Chains A and B, each alone.
Chain A
Amino acid sequence: EAGVAQSPRYKIIEKRQSVAFWCNPISGHATLYWYQQILGQGPKLLIQFQNNGVVDDSQLPKDRFSAERLKGVDSTLKIQPAKLEDSAVYLCASSLVGRAGYGYTFGSGTRLTVV
């Protein structure tokens, strides 16, 4: 089966600019997650979707970050305006509904550098 697709792989922007990341999960995976991985740290959950509804966005900095999952498939994560501390790898993952024990499948991530 095809994996979780993410694009772009790399992005360099200046602070205060905006940026968007795209994720296409594994077919049939209703649950989609966005994680932020800062260099030297473990991934931190930003937002969790189930189909096209938000399950948990408690750790999403809503003043600058937004995410959507139209039609319950693809998802986009946007940052506007970006800050230097947003430099990180943004990982998308998907899983089957109700199957926490199977873990997630992660994409390769988008490495964002804010200068």
Chain B
Amino acid sequence: AQSVTQLDSQVPVFEEAPVELRCNYSSSVSVYLFWYVQYPNQGLQLLLKYLSGSTLVESINGFEAEFNKSQTSFHLRKPSVHISDTAEYFCAVSGISSGSARQLTFGSGTQLTVLP
């Protein structure tokens, strides 16, 4: 079984400042890692994912996340945020092995609020 811990429930930050949203996971098997974003009254949208290879993955809108196996972390970062980045961000993990381990397990979410 897997579990995900998002250490910060709310992160307020001023526009154009850098931000880091923290995520730690626990799993007995190798994992895939994901960040999803949820805007108000909308479903979850995939932001970026780590499957294998380079431990640094990037999204098209400037976010990046780094897989750190030794620290079992997958923190999300952006060097300069915009008002439009205000949303709830969810870290999720899926086991690579077959069966139910393929299910996505989510963290409790981090509300990012970008202030003008």
A residues engaging B (CB < 8 A)? 4, 33, 40-45, 48, 55-56, 91, 93, 100-101, 103-109, 111
| Given A48-B100, A55-B100, A42 and B90 contact (CB-CB distance below 8 Å) | yes
A91 touches B103 (CB 8 A): no
Contact of A101 among B6, B32, B109 (CB under 8 A): B32
B9, B95, B106 pick with most chain A CB within 10 angstroms: B106
B residues engaging A (CB < 8 A)? 4, 6, 9, 32, 34, 36, 41-46, 49, 51, 90, 92, 94-96, 99-100, 102-109
B34 touches A100 (CB 8 A): no
Name which residue of chain A comes closest to B99, CB basis: A55
A105 to B34, CA, bound (A): 13
B9, B44, B106, B108 pick with most chain A CB within 10 angstroms: B44
B51 touches A41 (CB 8 A): no
B103 touches A48 (CB 8 A): yes
Name which residue of chain A comes closest to B42, CB basis: A108
- Provide the residues of chain A in CB contact with B51, threshold 8 Å: 101
- Provide the residues of chain A in CB contact with B41, threshold 8 Å: 108, 111
A100 touches B109 (CB 8 A): no
A43, A45, A55, A101 pick with most chain B CB within 10 angstroms: A43
| Given A33-B103, A103-B34, A43 and B96 contact (CB-CB distance below 8 Å) | no
A103 to B47, CA, bound (A): 10
- Provide the residues of chain A in CB contact with B4, threshold 8 Å: 42
A11 to B109, CA, bound (A): 24
B34, B41, B51, B103 pick with most chain A CB within 10 angstroms: B103
A41 touches B108 (CB 8 A): yes
A109 to B41, CA, bound (A): 8
Name which residue of chain A comes closest to B100, CB basis: A56
